[in-house]
Structure 1
Amino acid sequence: MKVKVVDFIKRKREVLSHHPFEFKDWLSPSIRDYWIEFLNKANSSHFATWVKDHNLVSISNGEAVSEPAVIEMHPEATKVMDELTASLGEEIHVGEWLTVDQLRINNFANVTEDHQWIHTDPQKAAVESPFKTTIAHGFLTLSLLSVLTDSVDPASPKFPSAKMTVNYGLNQVRFPYPVKSGVNIRARTKIQSVTPIKRGLEIVQEITVEIEGCRRPACVAESVMRLYF
């Protein structure tokens, strides 16, 4: 079926902004006049026709106005979106504890060629590091997100109806506290948003990696993945 994304989002309780961003609001008065003049000229040009034909924006009263996109959604994508939207902001998964030992840290150092002593020299770290032991690379913790969120088990996929799951990237990531060698970590996941895309869904998750016995998290990341159906 064909779904207008704006209507779909409204139906799923996502609140739209009452003050949508307008590019012209960032401009100084003098530059804004040039911007409006450009849009007025574009409105009567082949450029405007091309833009409208591709459902990107329309131009009205000297301003660019976004038009609702129409996306044909796969029935399974609609089903997954319904399920995830119902749990927005809620914790949907808590993973198993995983030990980050020195061997794992050393192996990561060999792969990335990052042999800084705070990671790979336990004797020096015991004397000179404020943590009195070696610590894992921040990027090692980050690289473990897939296994910590149970996203890499082919026998038990998180979204079995999807033909393909793609790691689309990270919006932001922080490492509030180091992971000391030998400690256990696990991940907690919340769904922040679910958006229809061509042939699938884009899902933004907040993943918090906690350290056993520590009140501060090892990592907080906003992860973006895409499901294709």
Structure 2
Amino acid sequence: MLVINSFEEYQSHLGKDLGVSEWHRITQDQINQFADATLDHQWIHVDKEKAELEGPFKATIAHGYLTLSLIPYLWKQIADVRNIKMEINYGIEHFKFGQAVLVDSEVQLKAKLLSIVNLRGTTKVVIESTLMIKGYAKPAYTGEVIFLYHFI
């Protein structure tokens, strides 16, 4: 795991790969809980039998937004940013979904530091985020995540 203690340390990684998370298995239970939380019960996510018979993937798939919502959890496995008062999820940009994530697939986040600026004491970073699916060459998605940090 990458440990970052200051703006200067963070800045030294500009343009570099920051690392990858552990693999995380997407279960049907997690998909169902996400469907309940978001009120998105589309059959392709929650109806195993129909998905197997009629679906294009012959299995249920994770919601795209479920996979996006894993970014904070998986990011914490890549980098431990210390000496901060606060971290804010500021935005996401340029995300494209490339591959459906089938139930029971394992996913892993890959991160690269695209930019970092000091905005009068607030550090703004843009992280290229790629969600890989074990056994597939094409990622589930790629895009940019923006975090704000307030270092002590």
Where do 1:191-206 residues align within 5 Å?
Answer: 191-206=113-128
* Equivalent in the alignment of 1:97: 23
Q: Secondary structure at the match of 1:108?
A: helix
Hey, what's the Cα distance between the residues in 1 that align with 2:99 and 2:82?
Answer: 34
Hey, what's the Cα distance between the residues in 2 that align with 1:88 and 1:130?
Answer: 40
CA contact (8 A) 1:93 1:149 kept: no
Hey, what's the Cα distance between the residues in 1 that align with 2:83 and 2:61?
Answer: 39
* Equivalent in the alignment of 1:133: 59
Please say which of residues 212-221 and 104-113 is displaced more in the overlay.
Answer: 212-221
Hey, what's the Cα distance between the residues in 2 that align with 1:89 and 1:180?
Answer: 32
Deviation at 1:93, TM superposition (A): 1.7
Q: 1:168 aligns with which of 90, 106, 111?
A: 90
Hey, what's the Cα distance between the residues in 1 that align with 2:52 and 2:93?
Answer: 35
- The one of the two structures with greater contact order (alpha-carbon pairs below 8 A, sep at least 6) is 2
In structure 2, relative to structure 1, the CA distance for the partners of 1:183 and 1:130 (3 Å cut) is same
Aligned AA for 1:105?
I
* Equivalent in the alignment of 1:61: none
Identity %: 37
Q: CA RMSD in A?
A: 1.6
CA displacement, residues 179-200 of structure 1 (integer Å, 9 cap, x when unaligned): 0000100101000000111222
Hey, what's the Cα distance between the residues in 2 that align with 1:94 and 1:209?
Answer: 10
CA contact (8 A) 1:109 1:115 kept: yes
Deviation at 1:81, TM superposition (A): 3.0
CA contact (8 A) 1:134 1:181 kept: yes
Q: Secondary structure at the match of 2:40?
A: coil
* Equivalent in the alignment of 1:149: 75
Hey, what's the Cα distance between the residues in 1 that align with 2:133 and 2:16?
Answer: 20
Deviation at 1:226, TM superposition (A): 0.4
CA displacement, residues 95-120 of structure 1 (integer Å, 9 cap, x when unaligned): 00001010000000000000000000
- TM-score normalised over the length of structure 1: 0.61
Hey, what's the Cα distance between the residues in 1 that align with 2:23 and 2:92?
Answer: 23
* Structure 1 residues without counterparts, runs of 5 or longer: 1-78, 152-156
User: Larger C-alpha radius of gyration, 1 or 2?
Assistant: 1
Where do 1:6-155 residues align within 5 Å?
Answer: 80-150=6-76
CA contact (8 A) 2:6 2:82 kept: no
CA displacement, residues 135-174 of structure 1 (integer Å, 9 cap, x when unaligned): 00000000001111116xxxxx721111111010112211
* Equivalent in the alignment of 2:139: 217
Q: Secondary structure at the match of 1:89?
A: coil
Length, aligned pairs only:
147
Aligned AA for 1:97?
W
Q: Secondary structure at the match of 2:100?
A: coil
* Structure 2 residues without counterparts, runs of 5 or longer: none
